[in-house]
């Protein structure tokens, strides 16, 4: 159990510390940051790695002690919460787009594809946002 590692999808603490906020992509960034929170299972595993002598030795030999300690101390959670707060406070609220749909068709040597993005009134996010392959058979 001490040999388990944390979820690879999470950014390291050092990378998360230098995460740049882009207000033009605030919805994507909010979704990404909401996935940076550490699960209770990963926190429990990392607590065993940093509080037991054997786990600490293994973690230090693997070079993961700093990240394991940061997970145990909930540093990723704190940084992600701060970044989410900053996006909510400093990025302007998006304006609603005019109601309607935009359709895009593209042809490539490998095949054709079609995209659609539709908006409704007073909703800044698209209600339809998809991109798919056109089956030409």
pLDDT at 59: 83
pLDDT at 2: 43
Domain spans, the chain? 13-90, 100-134
pTM over 0.75: no
* Residue of 65, 137, 132 lying closest to 103 (CA atoms): 132
pLDDT at 15: 86
- Detail the DSSP E strand segments found in 1-137: 100-108, 111-119, 128-134
pLDDT at 50: 84
Low-confidence ranges of the chain (pLDDT < 50): 1-8
Q: How far is CA 60 from CA 42, 65, 67, 68, in A?
A: 18, 5, 10, 10
Report the C-alpha gap between 10 and 76 in whole angstroms.
Answer: 9
pLDDT tens-digit series, residues 50-72: 888 888 888 888 888 888 888 88
């Amino acid at each position: 159990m001490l040999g388990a590692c944390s979820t690879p999808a999470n950014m390291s603490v050092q990378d998360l510390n230098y995460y740049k906020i882009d207000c033009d992509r605030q919805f994507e960034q909010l979704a990404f940051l909401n996935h940076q929170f550490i699960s209770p299972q990963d926190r429990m595993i990392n607590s065993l790695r940093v509080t037991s002598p054997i786990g600490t030795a293994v973690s230090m030999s693997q070079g993961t002690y700093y990240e394991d300690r940061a997970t145990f101390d909930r540093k990723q959670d704190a940084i992600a919460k701060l970044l989410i707060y900053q996006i909510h406070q400093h990025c302007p609220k998006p304006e609603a787009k005019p109601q309607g749909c935009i359709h895009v068709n593209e042809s490539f040597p490998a095949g054709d594809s079609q995209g659609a993005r539709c908006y409704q009134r007073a909703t800044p996010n698209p209600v339809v946002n998809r991109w798919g392959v056109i089956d030409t058979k």
